[in-house]
Structure 1
């Protein structure tokens, strides 16, 4: 299915799928399984490794020697892109949104350790940052370099192929465990993971509901983005399925005060997971998404006794910036 798209070998796959029984019993009458994509192995792990396998494979096939990408100051994607670039002998340039902090910790500390060229743009508009990356790329080209730009979160149709593969991987593991998956829940920050899961569910014919929990924008924005990415990703696989915004399930009630701003519910979810399962969630994505999952269970969104897979997309390095001062 994916043979037309070159891949870089970056991730330890398959990642485990495990039932988190003690946590499940604490939060309600459903069975929660966790897909451990925090264990993909690239620079402390995370979901971006799956996307980067396809994106960096494309970059390598085009002879790129410099990789540019963007994100927030504590971007997991930026950290992992820098690591992928280093593994493949390329130079990473990270153009991050916001002001440069006085102290670098968490993901930023790892960016420095990886030797990334980190630049900050004090703006709230990623469109402006992508324009800035384009100018940097042009400057590099004028000096004979071969830059390759990876958009925010690696959430392109090509990057989303990583989560088409992940969906199929989950289904194989579920079959081996003798369970039927009813729902897959994921944190939504740029939409590529959700889009890939949707395409995987469609192509496999599995009746699995993909539920997104926004950690940033209001749901209408993500519904449009995810529908577009999923439609274009499907076309890469020679399928003309058109995904519509109204078909995309995203909850935006759990964003709180905004992206990367930790609230009490997020801390409580992180703490409960740590104390029942010994699993560490991140404060920006997985902790906030898990707080949303807990609330949806309380509200009766999921069928009693159903099997829910939560994608642990990583992000734990940000704990050392967001929760420790």
Structure 2
């Protein structure tokens, strides 16, 4: 991933679906949704472009099929070149849903992690940061993403991983170890994340260095009126040498800060182009949710642009109350940090909820893997070539299949496929007996 300063796409100014007038109609007001998006996106990014592939999955029923997989009564067929942008072709397409292939953005960085870091890393670099400290579980996709992305641009990453070091390194844990500096933290210490991160960051900074949080970086950027392609330091200045003090940035677990929403705004702006999903057609986006940041970013961007998109987030790591609290926090933080650009009317009702939080189709204790789920991942891979993991992305696929077959409304279902493939290696290490049964699992 190379840093890239991408000018915002020029969009038409019209009356949007919800009846909000464009800037042409209200010349003396704050920027319209599209004007705000233009200013928001006129900056440096980590990803060279926001482009992503969109495929179509046709769902067919099959009767009398035996097997323990979750989809034993279904078969799936992938279309790599669906007709997008043509509203007439949406009507008679049978049972199908779309899948945004963000899992293809990077070989080691999950799609949702790449989007979260898309706007964050350039800000960190512009702020003269030399080191990044973050935390996660032993098989944290977030920690691996930070390690890889920092190494690609000459930053040092320090990863605090919960628990004990595995006997054999594999999956995200292996990638984190190769690209970053790993410290395994006892669970009792990890429970106090803020104190843990601050203590370790201070240790990395030393007596002559300094520590900064992501929220401080973006506040400083906005306060110095250098929001667009900001330049805090000379970008070619040497980092981390003996003659230069260390500047350490703390990135919260899962990058669950408002600055992480920038990448989702960029993605929504891209997907809403007329030749792709457009601005008028109703879509129901299904996304698996760990921290819930990706779902909130999708919902907030869609609301601001007046898009008739529903966001269905499958809760996989916490309770409904916790996810809603996280949603309110991110919205409030985003409004505060970008208030100088926002037309507050565009976000009326945001505090009432912009994400439809749902339980996974087969509720279970988080972290456990069921035999049928592994077989379901195998089936999808064999029939479509799309890799899923049984903890996260399979939950989104299953929910999309259920909504599509239920004909609940006229919305087209879209999965934001975030990746998770490397997580399969860690799961195979943990659930040896289940994965050992793949040789006798379903046959195509």
- Unpaired runs of at least 5, structure 2: 1-36, 62-73, 77-92, 210-245, 433-444
Pairing partner for 2:321 from 220, 223, 226? 220
Per the TM alignment, residue 29 of structure 1 is displaced from its structure 2 partner at its CA by: 5.8
Pairing partner for 1:292 from 381, 390, 399? 399
- Alpha-carbon distance in 2 for matches of 1:127, 1:173: 46
Instruction: Name the stretch that deviates more: 151-160 or 245-254.
Output: 245-254
Q: 1:146 to 1:316 in 2, by over 3 A?
A: same
- Alignment partner, residue 15 of structure 1: 52
Q: 1:127 to 1:243 in 2, by over 3 A?
A: farther
Check the 8 A contact 1:286/1:313 in 2, yes or no: yes
Q: 1:42 to 1:13 in 2, by over 3 A?
A: farther
Check the 8 A contact 1:181/1:309 in 2, yes or no: no
- Alpha-carbon distance in 2 for matches of 1:62, 1:77: 22
Number of equivalenced pairs: 322
Q: Considering fraction of residues, name the structure with more helix.
A: 1
Per the TM alignment, residue 56 of structure 1 is displaced from its structure 2 partner at its CA by: 1.1
Q: 1:132 to 1:313 in 2, by over 3 A?
A: same
Instruction: Name the stretch that deviates more: 133-142 or 185-194.
Output: 133-142
- Unpaired runs of at least 5, structure 1: none
- Alpha-carbon distance in 2 for matches of 1:47, 1:11: 16
Per the TM alignment, residue 44 of structure 1 is displaced from its structure 2 partner at its CA by: 4.8
- Alignment partner, residue 110 of structure 1: 175
* 1:58-90 alpha-carbon deviations (Å, 9 max, x no partner): 211211111111121111111111111111111
Q: 1:26 to 1:153 in 2, by over 3 A?
A: same
* 1:12-41 alpha-carbon deviations (Å, 9 max, x no partner): 530111112257973796421111111112
Check the 8 A contact 2:396/2:415 in 1, yes or no: no
* Aligned counterparts, 1:79-228, within 5 A: 79-114=144-179, 116-123=180-187, 128-143=192-207, 144=209, 145-172=246-273, 175=276, 180-228=281-329
Check the 8 A contact 1:185/1:308 in 2, yes or no: yes
Q: 1:26 to 1:198 in 2, by over 3 A?
A: same
Per the TM alignment, residue 203 of structure 1 is displaced from its structure 2 partner at its CA by: 1.3
Pairing partner for 2:380 from 267, 273, 276? 273
* 1:106-135 alpha-carbon deviations (Å, 9 max, x no partner): 111111221x11122232786512321111
- Alpha-carbon distance in 1 for matches of 2:425, 2:313: 25
Q: 1:265 to 1:232 in 2, by over 3 A?
A: farther
Q: What do you get for the CA RMSD once the two structures are aligned?
A: 2.9
Check the 8 A contact 1:201/1:207 in 2, yes or no: yes
- Alignment partner, residue 261 of structure 1: 368
- Alpha-carbon distance in 2 for matches of 1:31, 1:266: 21
Provide the TM-score with structure 1 as the length reference. 0.87
- Alignment partner, residue 302 of structure 1: 408
Instruction: Name the stretch that deviates more: 81-90 or 17-26.
Output: 17-26
